[in-house]
Amino acid sequence: MREIARRAGVGPATLYRRFPTKETLATEAFRDQLGACRAIVDEGLADRDAWHGFCLVIEKICELHARDRGFTGAFMSSFPRAMDFAASRTYTLDAVAELGRRAKAAGRLRPDFVLDDLILVLMANSGIQATSPAARIAASRRFAALAIQALRTSPEHAPLPPAARLLPAVRADE
């Protein structure tokens, strides 16, 4: 907690007044991440082009998870009962399912797509290992683009984002 206060530029007393325990601090941070996720899904739903909204959700959620790598897992393992996120999860899954239905109806999303496919994409995205946070985000963007191409009804091969270095450079003399 002292290190967090130092990095935030406040005194420990200020931090403890606002967040009396580590759990309250982590819960608030997790609440912010849930809010960011919901905002992304709402933005996708509001898009008049269902396919574009669907793609936006995949791209932005993958990037959010790449930026905050491991946060959700760490939070849930450390504070499994800190908050009831079932309603938020249900809303998100229902909203993404609706986006999927609309994108299928528009003829842009594969007819055999199921919501578990998107969950699989997000699970795979969370496994990206890279040499730096910037490389992880770049790799996540490329992975999202590859996943979107795989989910599309017709194989339009748009240019992919640049590849990221995922492994340390190997020296020629090794």
pLDDT along the chain (174 residues), means of 10: 81 85 76 85 96 96 83 54 70 92 96 91 88 91 94 78 69 49
Q: In the prediction, which pLDDT does 82 show? A: 60
Residue 75's pLDDT is 47
Question: Does 14 map to a domain?
Answer: no
Domain membership flag for residue 6? no
The answer to whether the CB of 161 falls within 8 A of the CB of 145 is yes
Count how many domains the chain has: 1
9 within some domain: no
What was the pLDDT predicted at 105? 97
Q: Considering the domain boundaries, does residue 162 fall inside one?
A: no
In a domain, 52, yes or no: yes
pTM summary value: 0.74
Is residue 68 one of the residues assigned to a domain? yes
- Among candidate residues 90, 125, 108, the one with its CA nearest the CA of residue 53: 108
pLDDT on residue 72: 58
What pLDDT is stored for residue 84 in this prediction?
63
Query: How far apart, in whole angstroms, are the C-alpha atoms of residue 44 and residue 134?
Result: 25
pLDDT of residue 126: 86
76 assigned to some structural domain: yes
**pLDDT for 159:** 74
Q: Dihedrals φ, ψ of 132, to 5°?
A: -160, 165
Q: Domain residues for 77?
A: 37-151
CB neighbours of residue 21 within 10 Å: 11
16 in a domain, yes or no?
no
Looking at residue 81, its pLDDT comes to 63
